[in-house]
Structure 1
C-alpha cells in the first residue's frame, strides 16, 4: 500500500468513526429523553411520548452538531492549533538550544527520507514528562510536538524512535482521523458544558409549573451526568480507534530506523517515568500522543487510548530485524557511496511515475542514511538559512537562477531588484554562489527544507 492509498484508507476510517459517534449520540438522546420524563414527573406512568422524544432528539442533535462544527472549523488551520492549545511554541533553529537543534535535525532527516514536507516542530516547554504527538489534516499542515522532558531524558537513538513513530502517524493518515475525532467528540462534551452552565444558574428558573416543575439546576445536573456518559463514550471511541494505530506506528518506527533498541529504550523509560501532561487540553488530544497523557482512571484497560507498555515492548522486541541491513555509522554517512546517492528522489536515474508514487512516504534504512548523508554535505549557512523565513526565500530564488545562460540570469536578477528588498536580493546572490558549488542531488532536498 503506497502513501496515497494510506490517505484513502484514513478517510474510510473516518467513516467508521462517524458510525461510532452516531451510536453514542443515540445513547445520549435516550438518556436525556428518560431524564426529561422524570423531571416532568411523567415517568414511570409514561415511558413513550413521541412529541417529547422528537423535541429532545432535535435539540440534542443540534447542540452536538453546533459544538462539533465549531471545533472542526476552529481546527481548520491544522496541527498548529492543537500544539498551541497544549502550550507549545514553534521551535526555530536560531533560537533553539542544543537539544532543540538535535530534534530539528532528526525531523528533517526523516522528512527528506520519506519524501514529504518537513513538518513544523513545537516544543511543549512546561511539560517535563516524556511524550510527543503529530497533528494535522494532511502532511502539508502537519506539526510534530515534543515535550521538554523528551529532550532531557532520551538519547538520540531513542528520540529518533519517537520521531519515527510520529512520522508513521503522518504517513499512514492517522492525523486526519485524530483531528476529526477531536472535533466530533467536542460536540458530546458540549452537552456536559451546557449542563454545567445550567447548574450555575441554580435557583433562578424552574421547569414546568411552579408547583410541579423542578429547578433548572436539576436538569443541568442531569445533563452533566449524561455528558459524563458521553465523555466515557468518547474515551471508548478514542480507545477503539487509536490502539491498533499505536502498534502500527511502533512497527513503522522500527522499519524506518532498523533500530528496535531505540524505541524499546523509550518504552522502558516510560515504565519508570511519567508521560502525563499538565495541560488542560490533554484530555481532548490524549489519543494523539506517543504515550498515555492522562492520569490513570477507573477502567484504565477499557478506556486507555494506548496499549499497555509491556505489550508494546513485547511486540517491538518480537519484530524480526536480524536479516535487515544495519544503519551505517556516522562516518559512513559522511562519505556516501555512489550507490547510496542514486536512491530516493535525488538519484541519478529515470524513474517511472509509478516508482515515484510508491516511494513517497516509504522510508527504508537506505533512504534514511541517504538523507543524513545529503544533509551532512550542506554548509551550515544553508542548513540554518533554510529554517529562517527571509533566508529560505533567498534560497528559493537562488535555486531558480539560471546558471547556464548569463543573459537570462541577469534578467532574473533585474526583476528581483524591482520586486524584492535590496537585502533579500543580495542574500540571494550570496547564497547562489554557495549553491552552485553543491552536488546537484542536494538541490531538491534543499527545496524540501526551505518550503516550510
Structure 2
C-alpha cells in the first residue's frame, strides 16, 4: 500500500468512524430516554412515549453536536492544541538541553529524509513514562510530542525507532483521522460532564417532599453513568481505528531506520517500565500515543487502543531483516556526493517514474543515511543559523540572492536595505557567501531546517518575510525558476503560522475538474526539462504528451497541439487548485509529472527542485533525489525563465 492508498484508506476509516459514532449516539439516546422515564415516573407502566423520546433525542443530539463542534473548532489550530492540553512546551533549539538537542536532530534527519516540513517538537516535561505522539492535519502542520521519560530512558537508536513510528503516522494520514476522533468523541464526553455538573450542584435542585419522582441530581448521576457507557463506546471506536495502524507504524519505523533492535529495545523497556500519562487529557488523546497512555484494566484487551506489547515484539521479530543487515551502518555512511548513495533517481539511466510515486510519503534507509550525512557536513554557522530567528530569516533572504551576477545582487541588496535592518542585511550577505559554496541539493533541505524557527514569528511577520523574498526575486528583473520554487515552498511551509485555522478539503474527485491545471503544470515541467539551447520544440511537445497520457481518462479529454504557455502566477494558482484534489488524483498528477521528467532518463537539479516543490505543495512529500548529478556542480545552474 503506497502513500496515496493510505490517504484513501484514512478517508474510508473516517466514514466508518462516523458510522460507529452514530451507533454510539443511538445507544446513549435510548439509555437517556429510559432514565427520563424513571425520572418522571412513567416506567414501568408505559415504556413508549414518542414525544418524550423525540425530546430526549433532540436534546442529546444537540448536546453532543455542541460538544463535538466546539472541540473540532478548537482543534482547527492543529496538533499544537493537543500538545499544550497534555502539558507540553515547545522545544526550541536555543533552550534545549543535551537530550532535547538529540531529539531535535533525529526529527530533522527524519524530516529531510522523508521530504516533509520539520515538525515542531513538544516536550511533556512532567511525564516520566516512555511515550510519544504525532498530531496534525497534514504533514505540513504536524507536531511531535515526547515525554521526558522517553529522553531519559532511551538511547539514540531506541529514540530513532520511536520517532520513526510517529513519522509513519504523519505520512500515512493517521493524524487527521485521530484529530477527528478527538473532536467527535468530545461530544460523548460532554454528556458525562453535564451529568457531573448536575451532581455537583444538586443542592440547588432539590425538589419538594411531595415530589415522588427522582431528584435532578439522580438524573445527573444517571447521565454520568450513561456518559461512562459512551466513554467505553469511545474506547471501542478508538481501539477499532488505531490497533492495526500501530502495527503498520512499527513496521515502518524498522524500515525507516533499518534497525529493528532499536524499536525492540523500546518494547523491552516498556515491559519493565510504564507508558501511562498523568495528564487529564490522556483519555481523549490515548489513541495517538506510541504506547498505552491509560491505566490497564480488566477489559484491557477489548478497550485498549494499542495491541499487547508481546504481540508487537513478536511482529517486529518476524520482520525480514536480512536486507536491513546488508545495508551500511551509520559508521559506514559516506557523504551525499559520493557514489554509494544511489537510488535510481537523478542521473541514473535506469530511473523509473514508478519509483518516484512509490516513494512519496516514505523513508528508505538510504534517504535516512543521506539526511544524516547532509546534516553532519553542514557548516556550523548554518547549522546554528537555522536555529536562531534572525539568522533563519537571513538564510531565507540569502537563498533568494543571485550569486552569479554581482550587479543583480547589488540591486537586490540595495532593495533589502530599504525594508530590513542593516544588521540583518549584513548577516544575509555573510551567509550567502557560505551557501554559494554548497551543492545545489542543499537548498531545499536548508529551507526546511529554517522553517520551525521562522514559524515562531507572528502571522504578519511570516507574511512580511514571504513578501521580502518575493521582492528580492522581483529585484532581479526576471523571475527565475528557483525563485518560484523558493517562494512556493516557503509560503506553503509557513501556512500553519500565517493561517493556523485553514484546512484543505477534497473538492475535486474527477480529472475533468482539474484538467486545465494539470496540463499547465505538465507544460512547465516539460519546458524546464528541455531548457538547454539544443532542445527543440518537438522534444518539449513529446515530453509534455508523455505526461498527459498518464493522466486518467486522457483519451477522452481535449488535448492541445502544443504545451500551453503561462507565467508563474498562473502556475501557482493551478497548483493551489490541484491541492484540493482527491489522493488518487494527486497520485495520477505526480505520476504524470514523474513521467515527463524522466522521459530522457535524466533529472537536472532544476527539474528535481520543481518536481519536489509541486509534490510538497500537494502534501505529497517526495524524499530527496540521491544520485550524484555529474552535470551539476556546486554552482547554481542556469534557471529557466517563466514559460
TM-score by length of 1: 0.95
CA positional deviation for 1:344: 9.3
- 1:299/1:46 CA distance change after superposition, 3 Å: same
- 1:396-420 alpha-carbon deviations (Å, 9 max, x no partner): 1111111112222112111211112
- 1:307/1:115 CA distance change after superposition, 3 Å: same
Q: Distance in 1 between matches of 2:330 and 2:171?
A: 26
Q: Distance in 2 between matches of 1:348 and 1:409?
A: 35
CA positional deviation for 1:337: 5.5
- 1:287/1:346 CA distance change after superposition, 3 Å: farther
CA contact (8 A) 1:235 1:303 kept: yes
What secondary structure sits across from 1:55 in the alignment? helix
CA contact (8 A) 1:88 1:123 kept: yes
CA positional deviation for 1:425: 1.2
Q: Which moved more, 1:181-190 or 1:391-400?
A: 391-400
Q: Distance in 2 between matches of 1:131 and 1:326?
A: 30
Q: Which residue of 2 aligns with 1:328?
A: 328
- 1:366-414 alpha-carbon deviations (Å, 9 max, x no partner): 1111111111110122122213332211111111111112222112111
Q: Distance in 2 between matches of 1:346 and 1:89?
A: 40
CA contact (8 A) 2:65 2:187 kept: yes
- 1:240/1:347 CA distance change after superposition, 3 Å: farther
Q: Distance in 2 between matches of 1:276 and 1:212?
A: 45
CA positional deviation for 1:21: 0.5
Q: Counterparts of 1:277-288 in structure 2 under 5 Å?
A: 277-288=277-288
Q: Distance in 2 between matches of 1:333 and 1:9?
A: 36
- 1:349/1:121 CA distance change after superposition, 3 Å: farther
- 1:73/1:208 CA distance change after superposition, 3 Å: farther
Q: Counterparts of 1:11-30 in structure 2 under 5 Å?
A: 11-30=11-30
Q: Distance in 2 between matches of 1:391 and 1:152?
A: 31
What secondary structure sits across from 1:152 in the alignment? helix
Q: Distance in 1 between matches of 2:413 and 2:430?
A: 12
Q: Distance in 2 between matches of 1:373 and 1:383?
A: 13
- 1:42-98 alpha-carbon deviations (Å, 9 max, x no partner): 111111111111100000000000000000110111111111111111111121111
Q: Which residue of 2 aligns with 1:49?
A: 49
CA contact (8 A) 2:341 2:366 kept: no
TM-score by length of 2: 0.67
1:418 and 2:418 correspond: yes
Q: Distance in 1 between matches of 2:65 and 2:344?
A: 45
CA positional deviation for 1:450: 1.5
- 1:58/1:70 CA distance change after superposition, 3 Å: same
Q: Distance in 1 between matches of 2:91 and 2:327?
A: 28
Q: Distance in 2 between matches of 1:14 and 1:210?
A: 50
Structure 1 gaps of 5+ residues are: none
Q: Distance in 2 between matches of 1:196 and 1:327?
A: 57
Q: Distance in 2 between matches of 1:384 and 1:92?
A: 12
Q: Which residue of 2 aligns with 1:240?
A: 240
Q: Distance in 1 between matches of 2:183 and 2:387?
A: 31
Structure 2 gaps of 5+ residues are: 453-643
- 1:204-254 alpha-carbon deviations (Å, 9 max, x no partner): 336799534332111111111100100111111111111111001001101
CA positional deviation for 1:349: 9.2
- 1:12-50 alpha-carbon deviations (Å, 9 max, x no partner): 211111111000000000000011111111111111111
Q: Which moved more, 1:90-99 or 1:266-275?
A: 90-99
Q: Distance in 2 between matches of 1:398 and 1:437?
A: 12
Q: Distance in 1 between matches of 2:91 and 2:328?
A: 29
- 1:382/1:351 CA distance change after superposition, 3 Å: farther
CA contact (8 A) 1:188 1:231 kept: yes
Work out the number of aligned pairs and report it.
452
Q: Distance in 2 between matches of 1:109 and 1:128?
A: 25
- 1:2/1:209 CA distance change after superposition, 3 Å: farther
What secondary structure sits across from 1:268 in the alignment? helix
